[in-house]
Amino acid sequence: MLIICLLKGVPAKTTQVVTVSGVLKREEMELVLNPHDVKVLEAAYYVKRTMGGKTVGISMGPEPKIAPIMNDLYQPVEESRFVPPVSYEGLDERIILSDRRMAGADTWATSYTLACGIIRYIQNHHKAVDQLIESVRTKPVQEAYADAEKLYNENLLPNYLFSRLPTVRDNLMARYVAGKVSREAVVAELERHKQMLDRFIILTGMKTSDGETGNTGPQTAEALSQMLGKLIPSIAFVKDFEISPDTGHVMAVRKIGNVIQKLRTTLPCLLTIDAHYEPRVPNACHQKTVRANRYFGKLKKTLVWDADYIGADPNRIGFAGSPTIVGPGYEIGKPPVQKFVGESLVFKRNVEKFEWNGKSYGPFNRGDTVNNLPEEIIKRLKEEQAIGVFTLEDLFEEVFGGLRVVARAV
């Protein structure tokens, strides 16, 4: 089972929040794991102990800032610098969606991008099974076994299909090599596994500390539903839930106001986890099945995927794909400043402190607005091309200038 955790890096200190036209410049801030996402990790660990499978964390943002957070989640959270101790063993895989074109996204563009990443992740597993099916059909038994071992080492096959664990000796490929099952039976079981890959679960935080909208989780389910052509149910504000290995049903409890609801849904689905969630203790009777459904282990390397790799439409991601219009923002601790394209006068480069007629001015940073300067100074700075009108190019430079396009995963 694929257990997908949507995680986010948020500003560590509100005094460091930097915005341009309402867009957070995350590349200039110290980021930490969203506090509400700690409950996501606890919920994912419960699902893994109940159903088997593996946990993968997917986050979106500037790779240099998000990578330390994701790398830290490779180890148990008790050793983490970012979040308090919880009942959790660390993520099996971690993926960062990072691309300059993704910058400036509102909740809808973010949800679309995350949905593209989720679909690509699932498709990679489908592709691996297709490769093994082709290998079983066309190659000698030992060569097919070697191909299965390679996919297993890449964390793409669960133990019941291939395993070197002494406790899972009766796996499918081992029985195939021993002549206990036919080629046709192996192919049929692999086809069944492909269908089971579509019974995934997505877990997200209830909200983020830098947005507080609570929209991204349900909107991601909506985007997935549109892209996959089938309904991906979502349940928000989940305080408690139980998942059944036998039926694949999820029974969730949530509280909205004074109303307590108990809802049942099937896989695949998406749950947003309430801050008061406490994980259940898995039933010990399912542990043999859990062990068979688990994967090779943890992959140490954090992957970075760009927009091209996940097949995202450039017109639907980042600033370009965001229908939300946000008012002007400002750095907390400084007076609010508005810049109007084509009107505001701003510094085009850094200007050191200088004196004019016995008075000191500056220093000024590139992008600062020109306020309360004598006309003589403004005229001189214009001649030196140190100041000019705030242009659309300046806006895009401020919003996107600190980000970089990362290499596409292969």
pLDDT the model gives residue 168: 84
Which of 296, 316, 336 terminates a domain? The answer is: 316
Domain contains 276: yes
Q: Quick one: 78 and 120 in the same domain?
A: yes
DSSP of 194-246: HHHHT--EEEEES--TTT----HHHHHHHHHHHHHTS---EEEEEEEEEE-TT
With b meaning 16 or more CB within 10 Å and e meaning fewer, what string describes 116-130? bbbbbbbeebeebbe
Average pLDDT on 393-406 reads: 62
pLDDT the model gives residue 19: 47
Q: How confident is the model at residue 330 (pLDDT cuts 50, 70, 90)?
A: very low
Q: Quick one: 112 and 259 in the same domain?
A: yes
Q: Quick one: 351 and 309 in the same domain?
A: no
| DSSP designation for 312 | -
Average pLDDT on 48-58 reads: 95
Q: Quick one: 280 and 364 in the same domain?
A: no
pLDDT the model gives residue 253: 96
Q: Quick one: 102 and 14 in the same domain?
A: yes
CA dihedral 273, 38, 200, 145 (to 10 degrees): -170
Q: Quick one: 310 and 374 in the same domain?
A: no
Q: Are 156 and 128 in contact (CB under 8 A)?
A: yes
- CA-CA distances (angstroms) from residue 294 to 18, 155, 160, 194, 386? 42, 10, 8, 15, 61
Q: Spell out where 278-357 has E strands.
A: 303-305, 345-347, 354-356
Percentage of the chain exceeding pLDDT 90 = 54
Domain contains 186: no
pLDDT the model gives residue 214: 80
Segment among 60-69, 255-264, 312-321, 332-341 with least mean pLDDT: 332-341
pLDDT the model gives residue 393: 80
- What CATH number should be reported for the domain holding residue 235? 3.40.50.620
> Tell me: the pLDDT tens digits for 222-279?
999 999 999 999 999 999 999 998 888 999 999 888 899 999 999 999 999 998 998 8
Domain contains 190: no
Q: Are 47 and 201 in contact (CB under 8 A)?
A: yes
Domain contains 227: yes
DSSP of 90-119: --SEEEEE--GGGTT--HHHHHHHHHHHHH
The total number of structural domains that make up the chain? 2
Peptide bond into 335 cis (omega under 30): no
> Tell me: the pLDDT tens digits for 15-47?
444 444 444 554 556 788 888 898 999 999 999
Q: Quick one: 281 and 229 in the same domain?
A: yes
The residue among 97, 112, 95, 83 whose CA lies nearest residue 56 is 95
Residue 409 clears pLDDT 50, i.e. is over it:
no
Q: Quick one: 82 and 229 in the same domain?
A: yes
Percentage of the chain exceeding pLDDT 70 = 85
> Tell me: the pLDDT tens digits for 94-147?
999 999 999 888 889 999 999 999 999 999 999 999 999 999 999 999 999 999
pLDDT the model gives residue 79: 43
> Tell me: the pLDDT tens digits for 333-384?
455 566 777 888 888 999 898 888 878 888 888 888 887 788 888 888 999 9
Domain contains 322: no
CA dihedral 74, 307, 272, 19 (to 10 degrees): 90
Average pLDDT on 209-226 reads: 87
Better-scored residue on pLDDT, 27 or 88: 88
| DSSP designation for 404 | -
Domain contains 187: no
Q: Quick one: 111 and 208 in the same domain?
A: yes
From first CA to last CA, the distance across the chain in angstroms is 23
pLDDT the model gives residue 167: 82
Q: Quick one: 308 and 381 in the same domain?
A: no
pLDDT the model gives residue 213: 76
Whole domain around residue 370: which residue ranges? 345-389
pLDDT the model gives residue 29: 60
Domain contains 270: yes
Q: How confident is the model at residue 181 (pLDDT cuts 50, 70, 90)?
A: very high
CB neighbour list of residue 76: distance below 8 Å, 6 or more residues apart: 88, 89, 90
Residue 399 identity: V
Q: What is the mean pLDDT of the chain?
A: 86
Q: Quick one: 286 and 382 in the same domain?
A: no
Q: Quick one: 70 and 15 in the same domain?
A: yes
Q: How far apart (Å, rounded) are the C-alpha atoms in residues 374 and 382? A: 12
pLDDT the model gives residue 375: 87
Residue 157 clears pLDDT 90, i.e. is over it:
yes
pLDDT the model gives residue 404: 46
pLDDT the model gives residue 182: 96
Domain contains 113: yes
For the entire predicted model, the pTM comes to 0.76
Q: How far apart (Å, rounded) are the C-alpha atoms in residues 156 and 150? A: 9
Q: How confident is the model at residue 88 (pLDDT cuts 50, 70, 90)?
A: low
pLDDT the model gives residue 63: 92
DSSP of 166-192: GGG-S-HHHHHHTTSS-HHHHHHHHHH
9, β-bridge pairs = 33
Better-scored residue on pLDDT, 281 or 138: 138
